[in-house]
Homo-oligomer: A and B are copies of this chain.
Amino acid sequence: MPINAQILDNPKSDRVRRIADLVRDKGRERSGRFLIEGPQAVREAVTWRPDVVQDLYVEVSQALEHPRIISSTLEKIVDKSQDSTIYVHYCSGDVIRHISKDAQGILAVGNARAMQCDTEDLKLGRKPHIAAFWQVRDPGNAGTVIRAADAAGCDAVVFVDDCVDPLNPKVIRSTVGSLFHLPVLHMGTDEFFGWAKDHDMDVWAADVYGTEDRRPESLPQVLADPASADEAKAVLFGNEARGLEPEILGKCDRIVSIPLYGKAESLNLGTSAAVMLMSLAMSGHIETM
């Protein structure tokens, strides 16, 4: 409801400096807030997680007597935000661009604590499908895998052990809004395996090599049995460079690899996650169509 009529037009003001600081890990830690950039991500945040969004910063043109939001796309997002208690601030283009080169006229500031999802908060259905990522470090990859998990209809994403901060603006940009579509949890390695056990989920490792005494099953073999593809499970993917350590593989119930039919030596983490999660989801849905 509240729209601040005063236009923020000083890129050097304290407020603008504090928002721009959210691009950095330290800025987010210090303030407990995070930055959402661009129409698509802001729209998805306002639509699906209005409880998280505190402030909206939108570019206005001052060419006419009254300030005017620069496009109808952005106007619709601002309208939608007015269903909730989100503060809207009109800004000059200079201010918006000073905060972020990826804003395309709109930014939001969210409450980091409200985005946090703990295992106690998470309500899982009868047959949960979880996508888990161990030590994912690259922000672009982290965003891509969250988007893939969303597309595959996973119930949640778990970042296991030491991963990139999912509230890093680069991660959020790469999720194209999916960060606001499903819960993203963070757990230690032991905590993750304990949690999966408590919820009767098998943990499947997505891994090409397996261990000395356990060769991976090939994904098409797994898909040939739709009932198995559809069972409650958490699929665990490894670090982009090092994969999964043997100790981690040893704790997994199954090891499944994506076959390569040509001469390519590998798929990257984002593509592997999309292929495995989507093909399991499709296999699980074949019977019900």
Task: Fill in one digit per residue for A33-61: 1 if any B CB lies within 8 Å of its CB, else 0.
Answer: 00000000000000010000000000000
**A262 contact set on B, CB distance < 8 A:** 149-154, 178, 181-182
Interface pair A220/B285, CB less than 8 Å apart: yes
Report B-chain residues with C-beta under 8 Å of the C-beta of A178: 262-264
**Residue A28, interface by CB 8 Å:** no
Contact B279 A261 (CB under 8 A): no
Given contacts A220-B283, A221-B289, A286-B220, contact A153 B274 (CB under 8 A): no
List CB contacts (< 8 Å) of A274-289 with chain B: 274-275, 278-279, 281-283, 285-286, 289
Q: Fill in one digit per residue for A231-267: 1 if any B CB lies within 8 Å of its CB, else 0.
A: 0000000000000000000000000001111111111
Of the listed residues A144, A147, A151, A266, the one surrounded by the most CB atoms of chain B closer than 10 A to its CB is A151
In the complex, the answer to whether A261 meets B153 with C-beta atoms within 8 Å is: yes
- Interface: A63 (CB within 8 A): no
Contact bitstring A137-157, B, C-beta under 8 A = 1, else 0 = 000000010011111111000
Copies in the complex: 2
Docked complex Cα distance between A176 and B268 (Å) = 10
Task: Using C-beta atoms within 8 Å of the partner chain, give the interface range for chain A.
Answer: 35 or more
CA distance A149 to B151 in the complex (A): 21
Using CB atoms, name the residue of chain B closest to A261.
B153
Tell me if A278 and B279 are in contact (CB < 8 A): yes
Cα A151 to Cα B150 with chains together (Å): 24
Given that A263-B182, A275-B275 are contacting pairs, would A282 and B151 also be in contact in the complex, using a CB cutoff of 8 Å?
no
- Considering the chains assembled together, what is the distance between the CA atoms of A64 and B219 in angstroms? 51
Q: Assuming A271-B274, A289-B221, is B283 touching A151 (CB within 8 A)?
A: no
A261 close to B151 (CB less than 8 A): yes
Interface residues of A (CB under 8 A from B): 48, 144, 147-154, 176-178, 181-182, 218-221, 223-224, 258-267, 270-271, 274-275, 278-279, 281-283, 285-286, 289
